[in-house]
Amino acid sequence: MSLKKDIRPITYLKAKAADLLNQVNETQRPVIITQNGEPRAVLQDTKSYEDMRYALGLMKLISQGEEDIRKEKVRSQDDVFQELPKFPHPPSGSKFDWSQPPGAFRRKPVREKAAAS
């Protein structure tokens, strides 16, 4: 972080908003906006923001998993797999593509039968 370039007063934002947008998008560094000398907001490019949200989501899931382990709310892999529904073999003439994993079914294209003459 460059204090001179990455911390700006709100008056600079008002006067040079387009320049600040270009800066955050080119450098992918956030800019802190101050008002009366106090930090009041952060201007950040969208990719960095999305990456940060994704990372926070992963950290939340990890934290929840660690909490479950501490509370001994765990199950063995074998128990989980035994409870999964068993998928039958595809019936003949099925309209689904059974080569895909469950939940990813796609309808096979329907081929028109040749007209009988």
Q: Is the pLDDT of residue 80 over 60?
A: yes
What pLDDT was estimated at residue 77? 87
Give the max Cα distance, the chain: 87
Contacts (Cβ under 8 Å, ≥6 apart) of 115: none
Indicate if the pLDDT at residue 95 is higher than 70: no
Q: Cβ(57)–Cβ(65) under 8 Å?
A: no
pLDDT in tens, 24-73: 999 999 999 999 999 999 999 999 999 999 999 999 999 999 999 999 99
Domains of the chain, start order: 3-44 (3.40.1620), 50-80 (no CATH)
For residue 72, give the DSSP letter. Answer: T
